[in-house]
Amino acid sequence: FASSGSPLIAARIPEHVPRHSLVARLFHWIMAASMLTLLFTAFLPRVGVQFDWVTYHWIAGSVLTVSILFHIIHASFFLDFWSIWPDRIDIRDAGRRILRAMGKTAPPPDKFAKYPLENKLYHGAIIAAGLSVIVTGVFMMFRVRTIFFPRNPYLFSDMTWGLMYVLHGLGGVGLIALIMVHIYFGLRPEKRAITKSMIFGWMSRDFYLEEHDPRRWPVEAPPSSPASADTEPQGVRDAG
């Protein structure tokens, strides 16, 4: 990585760097539980495990939909909405990494902001797959009995229903692949600090300084921290 700051900046970083608020962590684990429930209730009957899966499926889908709506509002109005989206530095550094991987000369990439580019791209993929299953799932709830609206299997033509089921299935398969990738990288030793931050809400100062650029992701020391006694605090609200 390119140099990302002076020792003075490093000295003012707290020992525990806040990364995810309690609200963001609760959303993550509620979403994870609902998505895993959706996947198990969708695919276990296909391998011969028989139970009343439809009821559990639409309940889990409703929980996922509500949690996503909450997250959109929370991230849009109370957090730094753009921190999870790729910026020009991410794109530039991706090009630099490709050139260096091919053995060509290129400047070293900068350290990451709060979210590395791969996290941002994964977020975009989850949005695409998640919205496809949520939107189609809401309409498919008209074909079963729920507490939300009367059953109406004639809402769309057979062709439209067929296409909707195909899109819903493709989105579900995509989510399986994405969740497997997410769990795999979350368990890898070099990524465990990020996984730990989704449990406890913070990462260590050493990992922060090794992987992240304080100029792109500024944090502030707690008021009682000696590191902040003679420096002006800085920081921004994060995206969870």
At residue 33, the 3 state secondary structure works out as helix
pTM score, two decimals? 0.85
Cα-based angle 137, 86, 99 (whole degrees, multiple of 5): 125
The confidence score (pLDDT) of residue 9 equals 75
The confidence score (pLDDT) of residue 219 equals 87
Please give the distance of CA 211 from its chain centroid, rounded to a whole number: 18
User: What is the C-alpha to C-alpha distance for residues 79 and 224, in angstroms, rounded to an integer?
Assistant: 24
pLDDT-flagged residues of the chain (< 50): 225-237, 239
CA 84 vs CA 4, 80, 81, 115: distances in Å: 20, 8, 7, 6
User: What is the C-alpha to C-alpha distance for residues 177 and 179, in angstroms, rounded to an integer?
Assistant: 6
The confidence score (pLDDT) of residue 228 equals 41
List, as one string, the DSSP characters of 54-87.
HHHHHHHHHHHHHHHHHHHHHHHHTS-GGGGS--
The confidence score (pLDDT) of residue 231 equals 38
The confidence score (pLDDT) of residue 166 equals 96
